[in-house]
Amino acid sequence: MTVHIAKVKVRPRKNLPPNVCAVELSNMLGCWAATGDVLASNQCQAAAESLFQCMRTAPVRGKQPRSSINYHLARLGRNSK
């Protein structure tokens, strides 16, 4: 069901902040892929430690608020009929 309402403007979504530990995680996954064993803790110790430190110091993001655009469009649709 599509609702067409004249002169309605919707703000674009805000950009999400970049993942701060993406590099460390990719290094850890790359190390696991290179060794061929996920349980190889000796070979991947440096990558695991850097990922652990990054996740320990990363800022905690709260839950993103749910968009209310559908609610407001439904209200406008009811009023325009």
Mean pLDDT throughout 44-54? 91
- The answer as to whether 53 is a domain residue is yes
Query: The domain containing residue 52 runs over which residues?
Result: 19-57
8-state DSSP, 20: T
State pLDDT tens for residues 1-21. 566 667 777 777 776 667 789
- The answer as to whether 25 is a domain residue is yes
Instruction: Give dist(CA 54, CA 57) in Å, integer.
Output: 5
pTM of the model: 0.54
User: What is the domain count for the chain?
Assistant: 1
Residue 52 pLDDT greater than 80, yes or no: yes
